[in-house]
Amino acid sequence: MQRSNRAELKMRSPMVEMLEPRALFSTATVATITPSAAKPELGQTVTLQVKVKTTKGKAVTKGTVELFADKIYLGVSAKVSSKGLATFTFSPANAIDVGTNSFYVHYVANSKYAANTSKKTTVTVVAPKTGTTATDGVFISVVTPGTGTAVVAGDSVDFQDTGWNNNTGQIFTKSGDYKPDYGTIKVEANPEQTIPGLDQALVGLKPGEVVDVFVPSAEAYNNGTAYVFVLKLLSING
């Protein structure tokens, strides 16, 4: 009998080892996503707060969520906190375009919790309603005022931006894709370090100021295409 028991234990142990991960993997989850604003103005910072709970309402205390927009993985993920929370932020360095944008998150399965995909939430970004248009067609709208000394020609400045081709709506520049997530240029340098329309937009800005900028082709690359930018002045280096 003793031999039989030992043999039986040896036969069971591989099966027990196989079943143990499945038992740990059985906790179902529910992910939800809430935007800080449903209809922000272009250039306004938007946060997406994610909550991940078990189906019994308890906070999921570990794991990773991935962010998708219109079925496209954005290449960004966030760790879930001990309170079951994760946050994604869209700032001038990675701004959201005008129009309706759909987002959802996917909670990645791990040894303790099962995977879950949230329902979609929409963020409808609206174009600026007020602003000033220069004689050359450059339009500037202030989203967030800055403070302190204003930029003058010849200053070296640090700034964040996202830029779109106005004809196609495609992003062609985004400082958030780089490390550090900002650029440094000399304003109205000779030779120029940026397009004339952005030089024009930077002059007069104060640190912390965020503006939307429309730049016609003649003040950009003179290629028949206009461009739209969200621009934030971080600092003036002198």
Question: Contact at 8 Å (CB) between 142 and 211?
Answer: yes
Question: In this structure, which topology does domain 24-125 adopt according to CATH?
Answer: Immunoglobulin-like (2.60.40)
Tokens of 236: 């003036």
pLDDT of 26 reads 52
Q: Where in the chain is the domain with CATH 2.60.40.10?
A: 24-125
Rounded mean pLDDT for each run of 10 residues along the chain, 238 residues in total: 42 43 64 95 97 93 94 91 96 95 94 92 95 97 98 97 95 93 96 96 98 98 96 94
State the CATH class of domain 132-236. alpha beta
pLDDT of 238 reads 73
Q: Where in the chain is the domain with CATH 3.10.50.40?
A: 132-236
pLDDT of 27 reads 85
DSSP assignment of 95-109, as one string?
PPPSEEEEEEEEEPP
